[in-house]
Structures are given as C-alpha cells and as structure tokens.
Structure 1
Amino acid sequence: MDALLPLMALLDEWIADPQKVQLGFSVLLGLTIFALMIALLLLVVGLSDPLRRRLRGLEAEAVAASDGGGAAKASGSGLGQWLGPMGERLIPTEEDARNRIAQRLRRAGKRSPGALNVFYGSRLVLMVVPPLLMIVVLPFVRVPFSTSILLLVFLAIAGYLLPSFWLDKAVRHRTRQVSRGLPDALDLLVVCTEAGLGLGAAIQRVAQDLEISHPDLADELNMFSMQTRAGMDHKAALRDLEERTGVEDIGGLVTTLLQSMRFGTSIATTLRLYAVELRDKRTQKAEEMAAKVSTKMLFPLIFCIMPSFLVVALGPALLGVMAAFAGR
C-alpha cells in the first residue's frame, strides 16, 4: 500500500488542473470505446464466417461421436458460442504458450476443441466488461479521480488473471479427485486381471464400476478405452493418460505397467504389488498428517485456550489479592 502513495499523490497533483482531468477522462473513454469496438468486431467476424461455423460444427460432431456428446455440448453451449469466436483471435502464436494452456485445460477435464478459444474469450470479456460497467457507474458515485483510475486498472488486471486462477483451481480439484479414487481402481484392476481379463478390458470394466463413486477417474479411464479401441497402442495410450492427468501416482503406475509389458511379466502381479505399495504410501501419508496434529494444535492452545484457562484458574485468586490490598 505504501508503494501506491506516490502514485496517488502524483495523480492528485495531475488532476488539480481541470483541463488535464477533462483530457484524461476523454482519453480513457476513447480507449474503452475502442476496446469495446474491437471486441464486438471480433465477435461479429467470428460468428459471421461460414467456414469457421462449419468447422466448429464438424469438430463438435466428432467430439460427440467419441465422447458421448458431453464435451460437444459444453463447447457448443450458448456461452461457448459467444466466447469462442472472440477468443479465437487472441490465441498466442507461440506453440509453447498454446500447448501450456491446452495441457492445463486437459488436466482440468476440458477436452473440447473450442476450450482454448472459450478460455481466451472469457479473459477478454472479463477484461473489458467490468471496467465498462464501472465507467457507467462512476458518474453517479463521488469517487476521487485517482481512485477511479486505480480501480479501473485493478478490474482490468483482475479480469485478465481470473480465468487463470479458476483453471488452476479446477486442475487441483480434478487431480485431487483422481488421486483419491486411484486405490479403489487398482484393487478392482487386480480383481479383473486375476479373473482373466486383459488390461484394456479390465480398465473398461473398472471405468464402468467407478462412474458413480469416482466420476473423474472413470472419465480418464473411459478415454483410455476409447483410444485403444480406436487403434492407439496401449503404451501410447498409457503415456497419454499420464500426461493428461498429471497425477504422480498414475505416472508411477504407467511406468510400472510399461516395464511389465517390456519384460513380459504378469500384469496382475505387477498391479497387486503396486496396489500394496500405494496402500503403504497412503498409510504413511496419513501417519505423517497425524504426527503434525500436535504441532498444529500448539498455536490454538497457546493463544486461545491457555488465556481462558488462566483467567478461570487465577481470576478468583487475583480478585482476592486485589481486594485484600484494597482493604489494607
């Protein structure tokens, strides 16, 4: 906050001149209108292009055929139809930047073809719309000019960063849900493989059984089954599963399965050993969290419980001592 004081002082000194204030407001209003016109132009160009509409329709049909229509509905919803064309023009040209955002979207469970366009479109909307609304409201509210400028800049920066924060939160939530359901999936895989099913059939059966209890993990396993049925090699599908989820335990499982395929060992034995190892790992993690409880309880005991205990235990004695000294 101290770093903003010189900036606010400079703005207060700058707005002392009414002509400068009028000029600054005119420039700000012009820039806002220009940004709004650019956003509307991108929207109109994206929606009116028949070739792009046809390509988006074909992509939605392909995703619906491979994913049961869920991702296509998500990308073809009303909001996605408006945000997609706007974000299509804002996608960075660098391949590394596009791949990073696309990988984060995949790990968040957003695998539709237009997910990247919707992400950048929502970023543009959140950067432009809140400042515009604030400019409409400011004439009716008595706020200093310097404060209003800082507020508009803050809203624009927050609108730019908010989709990234939401995406990070979605990735963490999905990763946690997938990790939570992995031990149950391993136990079911062990049962299925020992019953005589192959790896692909066992994963497909486990995905059907986990659709209610662990839907995120079941979705990833269903994607693996569809990839193998489409002709992808098991090793490539396993590598894609590891990259798509970003879970450390799944990475270890994939490495173990690939080594088992390479050396020709039993898949059932490999899964059983890894299930035991993962169960031991979860037990150690629970014991570690339990060992931290005593240290974490130290601060509430000292700052919350101990003062009240001292008041209850020593309060009457202190009152008696004070009364005795007052009587003397």
Structure 2
Amino acid sequence: MDWVIAIGSWMGDATGDPEKFRTLVASLSGAAVFTLVLAAYFLLGGFFDPLKKRIQSVQVTDLPQQTKKPSNSFLKTLGTVLTPKAVARRVRVATMLQHAGFGGEGDAQIFYGIKLLATLLLPLLTLGTLAVIKAMPVADTVPLTLVALMLGFLLPDIVLKRLVKRRQNRLKHGLPDALDLLVVCSEAGLGLNAGIQRVAKEIGITHPDLADELQLVTMQMRAGIDSRSALKGMEERTGLDDIQALVATLTQAMRFGTSIGDTLRIYSAELRDKRLQRAQEKAAKVSTLMLLPLVTCILPSFMLVVLGPAMIGLFKAFSEMGFGK
C-alpha cells in the first residue's frame, strides 16, 4: 500500500503545481489513448482475421439453432484484452460464472469484455458529467476520475457475487419441494432418471433455476453419462453444500442398494429443518439489526423530546438565580 500513498501524495502536490498537473493530465491522456488504440487493434484484428474467416466459411450454416450475436462477439474480442494469464484466476471467474448460471462457452470472455467497457466508460462519463455541470475545477476532477476508474473495474465482480448469491438462495429454497416430489415419484415406481425428469417438469414455474439444473442432469443421463457423474456435475455447477450432501447421499444409496425413496424422505426432512432453523436465525437477528437505526435515528429524537423541556426549565432556573449573569 506504500505505492498507493505515494501516488496519492504526488497527485495532491500536482494539483497545486501547474507543471506537475500538466504532466499528470498528459500521462492520463496518453494511457487512455493507448488503451483505446489497443482495444481497437484487438477488435479489428478479430473482425479481419483471415484464419477466422476461413474457419467460418467451412462451418455448417444450415442448422437453425446456430444464431450469431454480434454484441457477444464484440464483448468476447474486448475480453481477450483483460483476460488474466494466470490459470487459477481464470478458473475462479469461470466457476463463479457457472454458479451464477452463465456456464456457456465464451462467457468468461464476455465478462471480461463487460469489465473493460465499465473500466473505460465510467471515468469518461464522470468527466463528461463534471464538464457539463461545471461542478468543480479541472484540477479537482482527477481524484474523482480515478475513483470512477476503480469502481468501474470492481463493479462487475461485485455484481457477479450478488448474482451467485441470489441464484444459490433460489436453489436452496426450492430443493426441499423438489425432493418431496422426487420421493412421490420414487414411491410411484419411477426410476431416478424418470423421477428427475418429472420433477423438473413440475417445478418449472415455481423454481425455474432448479428445474433447469435437473433437466440438464436428465439430458446428460440420456446422452450416456452415468447418474453419479451427472449428479456430480450438478454439484459443481451450483456450488451448494445442500446439493453436495444430496449427491453424496444418493451415491451412497446407489452403491449399497438401499431404498432411494427412504433416503430422499429422510434428507428432505433434514432440509426442511435446516430451512426452519435459518428462518429462526434471521428472526433472532432482527433485534440486533434494529439496534443501530434505533440508536442513531430514534433515540436522539426521543431524548430531545423528553429532556428538552427539563433542560429549558433548568436553564431558566439558573438564570433567575444569577448564574447566567
């Protein structure tokens, strides 16, 4: 963090020194022009690449499912500029995108393209807005522009984490209902594959995220993948501990030949108990969470109303006794 403090102190000195300020503005302008030129180079290089044109010319074009999305191609081309070289960082982002429901091919490049656009456009919008409204001098806009640059770089990661959390909450909320239906299907004589397919069809309206995951498991089983690998894939795509425990329970039941219906019934009851405990935990936290707005907003007004007249009377009594003279 020493280099951040050094840069901040140098920028503070530059706002008072015209020569340093001109140097700072020239450096930032050069960096912005270099970034835009580099992005245009990669973009035009992706559009006019002869190898890419040759590959596209020999691809099958009569399939109705293949639809081209120019915006996605544009974002993928931009994403190649910001894609990290480290494999661990790419795997982490790809895993988070998969947990958020974006597990398609090229979604990581689209995410990095959005991140690059936000990093470039948010400072430009900030500078344009400040220039139009003339809220502050030009020298004071540099720190605000740097803050907008950092915010544009970090905002896609924050949004992605929120999307992952919301999707996992939706999956967690619909899992007990899906297990109850799967128990009914198992007791009715359906196999695991047919039961999962039936459950995915029934909960498609109330829990669409979980229905999509179960439908994908069914399609993988139809394609020849064994049930254990298909369920393991659902565990990796969702990243939920409840689904991980469910997959382990089903795998153990299939390995030892025990009844899948009884196993699912027991696990469904445990999930409902967990959901009830989470609701009770949230209800118990309400009093603690209400303490901060109570102290900061309600308590000062209450003390002013209660103690105000008494303090006024006390001051009047002191003034009559001669203490205020």
- The interval holding the TM-score normalised by the smaller chain is 0.7 to 0.9
Partners of 2:89 and 2:187 lie apart in 1 by 44
Per-residue deviation, 1:131:
3.1
Bigger shift: 302-311 or 24-33? 302-311
Runs (5+) with no aligned partner, structure 1: none
> What's the CA shift for 1:40?
0.9
The answer (yes or no) to whether the contact 2:99–2:238 under 8 Å persists in 1 is yes
Measured in 2, the distance between the counterparts of 1:298 and 1:18 equals: 50
Q: Which amino acid aligns with 2:176?
A: P
Counterpart CA distance in 2 for 1:219 and 1:295 is 38
TM-score, with structure 1 as normaliser: 0.81
Encode CA deviations 1:135-159: one digit per residue, 9 max, x unaligned. Answer: 5666664744553222232222222
Structure 2: where are the runs of 5+ without partners? none
Q: 1:101 — aligned with what?
A: 93
SS of residue matched to 1:113:
coil
User: Does structure 2 conserve the Cα–Cα contact (< 8 Å) formed by 1:60 and 1:113?
Assistant: no
**How much does 1:218 deviate?**
0.8
CA distance in 2, matches of 1:309, 1:135: 44
Contact 1:107–1:244 (Cα < 8 Å) also in 2: yes
Please give the alpha-carbon distance, in whole angstroms, between the structure 2 residues aligned to 1:225 and 1:127: 41
- Aligned-residue offset at 1:189: 0.5
Q: 1:128 aligns with which of 117, 120, 125?
A: 120
Give the distance between the partners of 1:316 and 1:139, measured in 2 at CA: 50
1:220 corresponds in structure 2 to: 213
Matched, 1:25 2:18: no
C-alpha displacement of 1:48: 2.4
Name the stretch that deviates more: 219-228 or 284-293. Answer: 284-293
1:92 aligns with 2:118: no
Change (3 A) 1:180 1:50: farther
Report the alpha carbon displacement of residue 301 of structure 1 after superposing the two structures with TM. 5.6
C-alpha RMSD over aligned residues: 3.7
Instruction: Return closer, same or farther for 1:312/1:88 CA change in 2, 3 Å cut-off.
Output: closer
Query: What is the SS of the residue equivalent to 1:109?
Result: coil
The answer to whether the 8 A contact 2:196-2:218 is kept is yes
TM-score, L = length of structure 2: 0.81
Distance of aligned partners of 1:321 and 1:242 in 2 relative to their CA distance in 1, 3 Å threshold: same
Farther-moved stretch of structure 1 (83-92 vs 245-254): 83-92
2:104 pairs with 112, 133, 150, which one? 112
State whether residues 87 and 118 of structure 1, in contact with CA within 8 Å, keep that contact through their aligned partners in structure 2: yes
Q: 2:193 touches 2:221 (CA, 8 Å); kept in 1?
A: yes
Aligned partner of 1:48 in structure 2 is 48
SS at match of 1:257: helix
Q: Which moved more, 1:298-307 or 1:236-245?
A: 298-307
CA contact (8 A) 2:39 2:81 kept: no
Matched residues in 2 for 1:253 and 1:58: separation? 45
Matched, 1:153 2:146: yes
AA aligned opposite 2:101: G
Map of 2:197 onto structure 1: 204
Identity of aligned residues (%): 44
Distance across 2 between alignment mates of 1:310 and 1:126: 47
Measure the CA separation in 2 of the matches of 1:115 and 1:28.
Answer: 31
Letter aligned with residue 186 of structure 1: L
Residue pair 1:12, 1:146 contacting (<8 A) in 2 also:
no
Larger mean Cα displacement after TM superposition, 93-102 or 18-27: 18-27
Structure 1 residue 163, shift from structure 2 partner: 1.3
- Cα deviations across residues 174-226 of structure 1 (Å, max 9, x unaligned)? 10111111111011110111111111111111111111111111111111111
